[in-house]
Structure 1
């Protein structure tokens, strides 16, 4: 994880991380910007700014998370991007109060996350392998509908066509073929090769649109408070603070998942530093008029698939994102990758996340109560994923908190584990003792190996 690969390995792998997260990175500014334009709160010319500013801050946040500075950054290979959880409340805030209120609320959200970071680090004993394995599995399964929508073509007019689905599945087959038969050095770039080959195939089918490239400027620099000085309506701040709570829960699970994949379990200090960096990046988003930031789960899946765990590779991804944030024309070229191609490639990544959760669960000695915790958590976590309008009649604050299957599943797993096992160190939820490197939840309840003895 701490190795710095040679440039000919580092930069292709870093670029692969960019391609894996780019669609998700630009989706939030596109959705929010489109809603604000329809509400008359923004102009169409503001949309390119939202995209470039988002990429710039995402790059800075990624480097801070991977490399770290003082007590900011988990120093794990984590790619940062804006969270979809914040989109619905931000649209409501922007429609009612305007963009300045959105970014004032984002600033308040970031400050709240920074202050709460040590608290969350101290409750990690509530996340034994039974909980984290279930949570990671839910993360992977809840992202699969996103891959399915992309394979179908997203919101395009020909969504669901045979050509779109065929292109997406072709991309997935290319990834699998490269992973199976290519030499190790090449197989580690299987997703990148799949995206390149899929894009070429998409161009032959007429699905690559480069018209947006000529319309973009070569240079676009984000400026602080582009939409004016921030405003802080109390109801708007409360809504984004709720988003901050959700983001802290999701980010904690992502750090634990990344630690499992790289074979170095995240310590309480790393969790606190990582969450503190999330809060700082979110505050930076408020300054540059972007969004709350958190770890991108699809890139955690890429760690498992590529088997390249260096945090400096992911830091290289952050540097590329900064360049793309300053050069919108280059970003438009990457945006030309057809949506079905992205779906085919990311489908494998999302599945890898779920498989990593199952691997964690396989290390546990099960009993009947363990199975109940897993079964009910999976069911509750996937309810809003399978039926998105499940909480449609509930208040906005409730929908913000619980319409994410990841959040509902995590809360259910934590509560059921406490209900059946409390804080006890028991084989059913703590992991097999035959594996000394696999630490369990009890390590967080006492000062062992200096993991808790810090300033938090």
Structure 2
């Protein structure tokens, strides 16, 4: 009977539901904890205070994932979406952390103001869905996959902190994870394919442990239970420049999220109309507003989890809803969160190469729905993907542009999206109108 339901509404057997949900958590966990780690270090916090930042982020990410997956009131897109702290604001927040009179409480204040700003503009931004035909959506999704590849490669080589980046033991573990995923997808069916990433990562974790790559030092000193309380670092403070910078970040997050929601709609077979897009953006903004009070930062949808949806073929929103519950549980159980955080980067790298590639492959598949034989459309794809790769290949390329532009220029997804939408307007919307007038054709 489940098979008669739309893919997003299907309910899985309990064990399969749990395992697929765990895959989502393990995939996004590294990204979720990276932002509070970076900002905590920039703000000069102690190890205990940084741990609290991480737990706060997991709590808000879990609640926001639940809202996005199940929908509450006017918010939540009701598709399999994972939420977490956004990287779009990292560079701006690092600067704020060192600014006199701003610091951590100023970052939280700017986050609250930006969340409120997002709630106000979401009903207007959702109308941009008509500017995302398959030509634009396919280009953006391909760019998402390509921009994530360096993350997977960095993981596979041992991660940013590796003393011997690219050493054989890192590459061996990443290869073992990737080969396991490929073999399961080739020779097995159903349940096993759905949890192939989890099996590959579990095997990789065991192999990494045997090679001495798993560090569990500090686990005994980690508290068993910890509850995140609002405004732990003091009442939020509000300064104009940080607020304006963070409001710009929210606009960029909305652009990225719109592309990701439309991508997910294509993968799940769900229609993402302006009303549904508004619900998704309201959840992004609401999570950011709430995050400022709960000692964490701007939140958005995680692109890498879209690859997992495509990879496994499991498109049920109840999977990510349970993943949200797991994130909330991890925020309350620091020992459990510690164990998840101990997964070596090389293990994530092997899985990431397969999943991020699947995102790019989805974009290429969607591009087949567009008139890609048209030379101008080919140019749109080529230029947009090329520009989207600039911040990925040379992050310092835009270093001499105004600092307020950093949330845009540091995001390959944002650059590719803006380019694709602009060129589509130029080539196909405005250009199409002019050609219709010249030829007397009606459309």
Q: TM-score, normalised by structure 1?
A: 0.91
**What are the Cα deviations for residues 331-367 of structure 1, in whole angstroms up to 9, with x where unaligned?**
1111111110011111211111100000100112221
Give the Cα separation in 2 of the matches to 1:144 and 1:215: 36
The CA RMSD measured in Å over matched residues stands at: 1.4
Aligned positions of 1:248-259 closer than 5 A: 248-259=254-265
Aligned positions of 1:44-83 closer than 5 A: 44-83=47-86
Is 2:213 the partner of 1:210? no
> Shift in Å at residue 31 of structure 1?
1.2
> Shift in Å at residue 158 of structure 1?
2.3
1:88 aligned partner: 91
Q: Is the 8 A contact 1:126 1:423 kept in 2?
A: no
1:419 aligned partner: 426
Is 2:339 the partner of 1:336? no
Runs in 1 of length 4+ with deviation above 6 angstroms? 423-426
Structure 2, unaligned runs of 5 or more: 1-7, 434-442
Residue 45 of structure 1 aligns to a residue whose secondary structure is helix
Q: Is the 8 A contact 2:107 2:242 kept in 1?
A: yes
Is 2:45 the partner of 1:35? no
**What are the Cα deviations for residues 230-249 of structure 1, in whole angstroms up to 9, with x where unaligned?**
11110010110111111000
Equivalent of residue 298 in structure 1, options 292, 300, 304 = 304
Q: Is the 8 A contact 2:91 2:406 kept in 1?
A: no
Aligned positions of 1:191-210 closer than 5 A: 191-210=197-216
Give the Cα separation in 2 of the matches to 1:424 and 1:194: 49
> Shift in Å at residue 395 of structure 1?
2.1
Equivalent of residue 325 in structure 1, options 305, 325, 331 = 331
> Shift in Å at residue 161 of structure 1?
1.1
1:370 aligned partner: 377
Give the Cα separation in 1 of the matches to 2:191 and 2:365: 25
Give the Cα separation in 2 of the matches to 1:425 and 1:128: 14
CA 1:44–1:185: 2 relative to 1, 3 Å: closer
Give the Cα separation in 2 of the matches to 1:215 and 1:25: 22
Aligned positions of 1:125-140 closer than 5 A: 125-140=130-145
> Shift in Å at residue 425 of structure 1?
8.1
Give the Cα separation in 2 of the matches to 1:249 and 1:412: 12
Q: Is the 8 A contact 2:267 2:310 kept in 1?
A: yes
Give the Cα separation in 1 of the matches to 2:189 and 2:137: 33
Q: Is the 8 A contact 2:70 2:321 kept in 1?
A: yes
Is 2:248 the partner of 1:233? no
**What are the Cα deviations for residues 151-205 of structure 1, in whole angstroms up to 9, with x where unaligned?**
1111221222121122112211111111111232111101000100000110111
Give the Cα separation in 2 of the matches to 1:166 and 1:389: 32
The total of aligned residue pairs comes to 423
> Shift in Å at residue 44 of structure 1?
3.0
Is 2:405 the partner of 1:385? no
Residue 5 of structure 1 aligns to a residue whose secondary structure is coil
2:365 aligned partner: 359
Q: Is the 8 A contact 2:262 2:272 kept in 1?
A: yes
**What are the Cα deviations for residues 130-164 of structure 1, in whole angstroms up to 9, with x where unaligned?**
10100000000001001111111112212221211
Is 2:269 the partner of 1:263? yes
Q: Is the 8 A contact 1:149 1:343 kept in 2?
A: yes
Aligned positions of 1:401-412 closer than 5 A: 401-412=408-419
> Shift in Å at residue 424 of structure 1?
8.3
Aligned positions of 1:47-196 closer than 5 A: 47-96=50-99, 97-154=102-159, 155-196=161-202
Residue 295 of structure 2 aligns to a residue whose secondary structure is coil
2:440 aligned partner: none
> Shift in Å at residue 423 of structure 1?
6.3
Q: Is the 8 A contact 1:113 1:276 kept in 2?
A: yes
Equivalent of residue 403 in structure 2, options 396, 400, 404 = 396
